[in-house]
Structure 1
Amino acid sequence: MAPTTPTLTAERILEATEEVLRRHGPAKATVVDVARALGVSHGSVYRHFRTKAALREAVTQRWLDRTAEALSGIVAETDRDPETRLRDWLAGLFAAKRRKAGADPELFATYSVLATEHGGVVSDHLTELTEQLTRIIQAGVDTGAFTTADPLTSATAVFQATGRFHDPGYAKEWEQPGAQGEFEAVVDLLVRGLRG
């Protein structure tokens, strides 16, 4: 009896695409490479993703979603005080970006290229992260921990003020001596500002 091949799913294709991107980089990776890695025809891949651009967009979305999903758990911890959640959320974002850049620099560089190609996906991701921050800051307003008239504007300001610690353009600085201390100083300053 012949061995059965696992069903070809979008998730399997995305996993293989990530591996192909890691191996070949965004300039050389092709749908044929992905299909070869899966042991299927490139037409089988195209049944799930109509174009190479759609496949690259989906793999970029998947990569960004991992961060947003991890941070959403902090947002959902409504039994914890908002200031602690805010600090933990910002620290979680910084740690996730550092981990991605440090653990797999080739793939991180690849995703930086893909993110540039798929600005809409990145824009949606940034909106989602800002919405998460807004919910935490709104909870702080509701409990009296923060005194801001506009949680969305404050969340946007906090996100922008901490950009050096999550924008991939600063990745080389994240492992510099003192980066963690600088991050903590910025967060302390922002939290004091939110307290009023």
Structure 2
Amino acid sequence: MATTEILTAERILEATEEVLRRHGPAKATVVDVARVLGVSHGSVYRHFRTKAALREAVTKRWLDRTSEELAGIVAADRDPEARLRDWLAALFAAKRRKAGDDPELFATYRVLAGENGEATGRHLADLTGQLTEIVRAGVDAGVFTTADPATAARALFHATGRFHDPVYAPEWEQPGIDAEFEAVMDLVLRGLRA
């Protein structure tokens, strides 16, 4: 069935996400994506030169949603300690939501993120960059003490990995996980305070 809508990269990415949800990363093909859109697979290839490029783009899109959600917290004109707590809590909530609301798609994206090291690396750099901005603001305000905000941000990211690294997703719904998150937050904030 031919479509009258203009074929855009965004439409292709939406269709790819649906195909991945339905078939998983091992069985999803560009032909499946084209079929959902009602176009030839050649039309999809005009936007994404290879299947790998399409998979990387859909992975980047998925990861960027989290980064964009967190960017608003970084930009907020609030106490850096509150922003840091809110940012880490929002990251944890976003990952939990993705894992819990659509576990099949979450599992698919874990596979894709592993395949697309460049997109994942850029995402992790973006997240630690956002954390660096918050820590730097805390240092500038005299709330945090650290010689190097970027190093502190990377340490914070790694110290809180249990609450955002997809490897730990099975633990995110266990009783007491919120109290454990708060305990880690209290500890890292105490360590940063001037």
Shorter-chain TM range is over 0.9
- Report the alpha carbon displacement of residue 108 of structure 1 after superposing the two structures with TM: 0.1
Which portions of structure 1, spanning 4 or more consecutive aligned residues, are displaced by more than 4 angstroms? none
Match of 2:72 in 1: 73
Q: How does 1:26-105 map to 2 (within 5 A)?
A: 26-77=25-76, 79-105=77-103
Q: What do the CA deviations read for 1:6-27 (whole angstroms, capped 9, x no partner)? A: 1000000000000000000000
1:83-113, Cα deviation, whole Å (9 max, x unpaired)? 0000000000000000000000000000000
Q: Specify whether residues 141 and 107 from structure 1 end up closer, same or farther in structure 2 by C-alpha distance, changes over 3 A only.
A: same
User: What is residue 15 of structure 2 aligned with on the other side?
Assistant: 16
* Matched letter for residue 164 of structure 1: R
Deviation at 1:120, TM superposition (A): 1.1
In 2, Cα distance between the equivalents of 1:23 and 1:121? 23
What displacement does 1:68 show? 0.2
SS in 1 for 2:4: coil
Unaligned runs of 5+ in 1: none
Q: Partners in 1 of 2:181 and 2:67 — Cα distance? A: 20
Deviation (angstroms), 1:4: 6.8
**Identity fraction in percent:** 78
Displacement of 1:168 in angstroms is 0.3
Alignment RMSD, CA only?
1.0
Partner of 1:192: 190
TM-score by length of 1: 0.97
Greater displacement, 102-111 / 143-152: 143-152
Q: Which runs of 5+ in 2 are unaligned?
A: none
